[in-house]
C-alpha cells in the first residue's frame, strides 16, 4: 500500500454549511458512535452492541452453500438483479413469515439491504419535514436516526411491561392532531422490543390495529426478533391480522447472518411500486450474491433447527444476565425479563445519570448504552440497555457484576454527598 499518500487534511470550505441541504444539519456524529469504538476493545465486556452471536452457525455448511452457489449459478449470483428482489427468495420469505401467521404473496415483498433500508424507504415515501411519526418510548436508535434524517417530528407513546399502551396511543393521536399536525405512521417492534425486550400481547395487538385502522394511520411493524422467543412462540405478527394497514419489516440479520445485509418489507399492494422505485433510486437492486446465498441456505439447510439453536444460545445468555442482575444490581434498580430477543432494559434511581456513568463503567471494563439514546426527546437519563446476545455467559456475569459495582458506588456517593 506504498502508493497511498498521507491524508491531506484541508479545512472545510468557509461557506460549506450553506451548501448542504437543510436535512444535513441533523447529520451529526452521535455519542454512541464513540462508545461503540471503545466497547469493541477486547478487554471490555460489551453489553452495548446488538451484534448477533454467530458461534451457533456452522461455517463449513455456509462455505459449502456459497461455493455451490457460485459454481452452479455464478453468472446470476454475480450479476445485477431485480430491483424488487430475487423472485425465489421472495417466495421463501413468505414461507418464513407464515411461521408467524402471515399469509402473503411474493409480489408484495420487496427485498432490502437489511431492514434498515426498508425503514429508510418507508420514510422516504411518507415523511415530509415536520410530519409526525409515533414510536414507542423508548425505541430503536436506528429508526430514530432515520426519522430524524427525513426531518420527522417523533412523538413517543408510553409503554409498560406489556409494550405500547393503547390508551396512550389514543391520547397521542388526539393531542398531535389537536395541534394541527399530520401523523404518518406508528412505528413499533412488537416482539422482544429493542431496547426494552418486552412483548406486546395478542389482545393489545388487536386493539392497536383497530385504533390505527380507524384513524387511518399506517402501522410499521418491525420484527427482527419474532422467531427468537425462548420460552414460548411469539403471538402472530400484527400483519397476520391486517394486510391493508400494516407495513411489515423483516430481516435475516438475527436468524441467519447480519453480514449478508438482507431484510425485506411486506407492503399493501398500493405501496409496492413506490417502494421498488425508491429502492432502485437508492441502490439499483439488492445483492443477488447475498440473496441467493440465503435462498440456497433456506432451500437446502435445516434452517428451522438452526433458529432453534440460536434460541438456545441466546436463552442461556438471557438467563445468565437475569441471574447476574439479581446478584449484583442494587435493590433500587428494576429491569425487564425478556422472553426472547437480545435486550434487557434497566431502570435506576432517577438521580443516576447513565450517560455520565459510562466513563466509570469503561474503567471497570464494561460497556452499555445509556437510555437517552433511545428517545428523541432527551428522556431516559436514569435508564440503560444491556445486550446479552454476544458475550459468553461468563463474560456476561463478569460485566454485570462490574456494572453493578459501579452503580452501587454511584448511589453511595450521591447519598453520602447528600448527608454532608
Q: Which stretch binds a copy of itself (CB under 8 A): 93-101, 303-311, 314-322, 333-341?
A: 93-101
Q: Which stretch binds a copy of itself (CB under 8 A): 66-74, 153-161, 169-177, 356-364?
A: 66-74
Using CA atoms, how far residue 16 sits from 13, 23, 29, 207, in Å, is: 5, 14, 17, 49
Q: Which stretch binds a copy of itself (CB under 8 A): 188-196, 272-280, 316-324, 412-420?
A: 272-280
Site for a copy of itself in 390-409 (CB under 8 A): none
Q: How far is 176 from 155, CA to CA, in rounded Å?
A: 8
Least separation in angstroms between CB 47 and a copy of itself? 16
Least separation in angstroms between CB 31 and a copy of itself? 13
Site for a copy of itself in 202-231 (CB under 8 A): 216, 218
Residues 130 and 110 sit within 8 Å (Cβ to Cβ): no
The residue among 236 and 323 lying less far from a copy of itself, judged by its C-beta, is 236
Site for a copy of itself in 278-317 (CB under 8 A): 278, 280-290, 293
Q: Which of 233, 259, 350, 359 binds a copy of itself (CB under 8 A)?
A: 259
Q: Does residue 191 bind a copy of itself (CB under 8 A)?
A: no
The residue among 191 and 279 lying less far from a copy of itself, judged by its C-beta, is 279
Q: Which of 87, 268, 349, 393 binds a copy of itself (CB under 8 A)?
A: 268
User: Quick one: which of 49, 79, 74 has its CA closest to 141?
Assistant: 49
Q: Does residue 131 bind a copy of itself (CB under 8 A)?
A: yes
Q: Which of 31, 34, 41, 105 binds a copy of itself (CB under 8 A)?
A: 105
Q: Which of 31, 174, 277, 377 binds a copy of itself (CB under 8 A)?
A: 277
Q: What are phi and psi of 313, to 5 degrees?
A: -60, -45
Number of residues that bind a copy of itself (CB under 8 A): 104
The residue among 53 and 323 lying less far from a copy of itself, judged by its C-beta, is 53
Q: Does residue 318 bind a copy of itself (CB under 8 A)?
A: no
DSSP reduced 3-state for 54: helix
Site for a copy of itself in 226-255 (CB under 8 A): 243-244, 253
CA dihedral 222→334→360→34, nearest 10 degrees, is 10
Q: Which of 45, 46, 100, 106 binds a copy of itself (CB under 8 A)?
A: 106
User: Quick one: which of 4, 20, 21, 2 has its CA closest to 12?
Assistant: 20
Least separation in angstroms between CB 279 and a copy of itself? 10
Residue 329 grid cell: 444490581
Using CA atoms, how far residue 26 sits from 21, 375, 376, in Å, is: 10, 15, 12
Q: 392: how many CB neighbours lie within 10 A of its CB?
A: 14
Q: Which stretch binds a copy of itself (CB under 8 A): 15-23, 338-346, 395-403, 407-415?
A: 15-23
Residues 109 and 90 sit within 8 Å (Cβ to Cβ): yes
Q: How far is 147 from 236, CA to CA, in rounded Å?
A: 27
The residue among 66 and 168 lying less far from a copy of itself, judged by its C-beta, is 66
Rg (CA), the chain: 22
Q: Does residue 15 bind a copy of itself (CB under 8 A)?
A: yes
Q: Which of 5, 416, 417, 420 binds a copy of itself (CB under 8 A)?
A: 5
Residues 111 and 85 sit within 8 Å (Cβ to Cβ): yes
For 18-90, where are the E strands, in sequence order? 45-46
Site for a copy of itself in 357-386 (CB under 8 A): none
Q: How far is 94 from 97, CA to CA, in rounded Å?
A: 5
Q: Which of 201, 269, 302, 350 binds a copy of itself (CB under 8 A)?
A: 269
Q: How far is 75 from 289, CA to CA, in rounded Å?
A: 10
Q: Which of 38, 56, 87, 91 binds a copy of itself (CB under 8 A)?
A: 91
DSSP class of residue 107 equals: G
Q: Does residue 126 bind a copy of itself (CB under 8 A)?
A: yes
DSSP reduced 3-state for 380: coil
Q: What are phi and psi of 132, to 5 degrees?
A: -95, 135
The residues, ordered by sequence, that sit 6+ positions from 152 with a Cβ below 8 Å of its Cβ are 123, 127, 129, 130, 131, 132, 133, 184
The strand pair at 369-370 and 366-367 is best described as: unpaired
Q: Which of 42, 43, 60, 378 binds a copy of itself (CB under 8 A)?
A: 60
Give the x/- contact pattern for a copy of itself in 20-59, rule: CB under 8 A. Answer: xxxxx--xxx---------------------xx-xx-x-x
Amino acid at each position: 500500500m506504498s502508493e497511498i499518500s498521507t491524508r491531506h487534511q484541508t479545512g472545510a470550505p468557509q461557506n460549506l454549511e450553506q451548501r448542504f441541504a437543510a436535512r444535513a444539519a441533523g447529520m451529526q456524529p452521535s455519542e454512541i458512535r464513540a462508545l461503540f469504538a471503545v466497547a469493541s476493545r477486547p478487554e471490555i465486556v460489551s453489553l452495548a452492541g446488538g451484534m448477533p452471536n454467530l458461534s451457533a452457525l456452522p461455517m463449513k455448511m455456509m462455505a459449502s452453500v456459497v461455493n455451490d452457489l457460485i459454481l452452479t449459478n455464478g453468472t446470476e449470483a454475480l450479476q445485477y438483479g431485480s430491483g424488487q428482489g430475487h423472485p425465489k427468495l421472495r417466495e421463501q420469505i413468505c414461507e418464513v413469515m407464515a411461521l408467524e401467521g402471515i399469509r402473503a404473496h411474493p409480489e408484495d415483498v420487496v427485498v432490502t439491504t437489511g431492514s434498515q433500508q426498508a425503514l429508510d424507504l418507508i420514510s422516504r415515501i411518507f415523511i415530509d419535514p415536520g410530519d409526525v411519526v409515533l414510536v414507542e418510548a423508548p425505541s430503536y436508535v436506528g429508526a430514530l436516526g432515520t426519522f430524524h434524517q427525513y426531518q420527522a417530528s417523533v412523538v413517543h407513546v408510553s409503554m409498560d411491561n406489556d409494550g405500547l399502551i393503547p390508551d396512550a396511543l389514543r391520547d397521542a393521536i388526539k393531542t398531535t392532531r389537536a395541534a394541527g399536525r399530520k401523523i404518518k405512521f406508528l412505528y413499533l417492534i412488537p416482539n422482544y422490543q429493542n431496547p426494552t425486550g418486552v412483548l406486546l400481547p395478542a389482545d393489545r395487538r388487536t386493539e392497536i390495529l383497530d385504533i390505527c385502522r380507524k384513524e387511518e394511520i399506517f402501522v410499521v411493524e418491525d420484527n427482527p426478533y419474532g422467531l427468537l422467543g425462548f420460552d414460548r412462540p411469539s403471538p402472530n405478527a400484527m400483519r397476520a391480522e391486517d394486510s391493508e394497514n400494516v407495513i411489515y419489516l423483516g430481516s435475516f440479520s438475527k436468524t441467519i447472518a447480519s453480514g449478508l445485509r438482507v431484510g425485506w418489507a411486506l407492503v399493501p399492494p398500493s405501496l409496492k411500486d413506490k417502494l421498488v422505485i425508491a429502492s432502485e433510486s437508492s441502490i439499483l437492486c439488492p445483492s443477488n450474491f447475498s440473496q441467493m446465498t440465503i435462498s440456497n441456505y433456506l432451500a437446502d439447510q435445516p434452517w428451522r433447527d438452526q433458529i432453534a439453536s440460536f434460541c438456545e444460545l441466546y436463552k442461556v445468555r438471557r438467563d445468565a444476565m437475569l441471574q447476574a442482575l439479581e446478584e449484583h444490581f442494587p435493590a433500587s434498580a428494576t429491569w425487564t425479563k425478556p422472553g426472547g430477543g437480545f435486550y434487557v432494559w434497566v431502570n435506576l434511581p432517577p438521580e443516576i445519570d447513565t450517560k455520565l456513568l459510562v466513563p466509570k463503567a469503561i474503567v471497570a471494563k464494561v460497556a452499555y448504552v445509556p437510555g437517552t439514546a433511545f428517545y428523541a426527546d432527551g428522556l431516559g437519563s436514569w435508564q440503560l440497555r444491556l445486550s446479552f446476545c454476544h458475550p459468553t455467559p461468563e463474560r456476561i456475569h463478569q460485566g454485570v457484576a462490574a456494572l453493578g459495582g459501579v452503580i452501587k458506588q454511584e448511589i453511595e456517593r450521591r447519598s453520602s454527598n447528600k448527608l454532608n
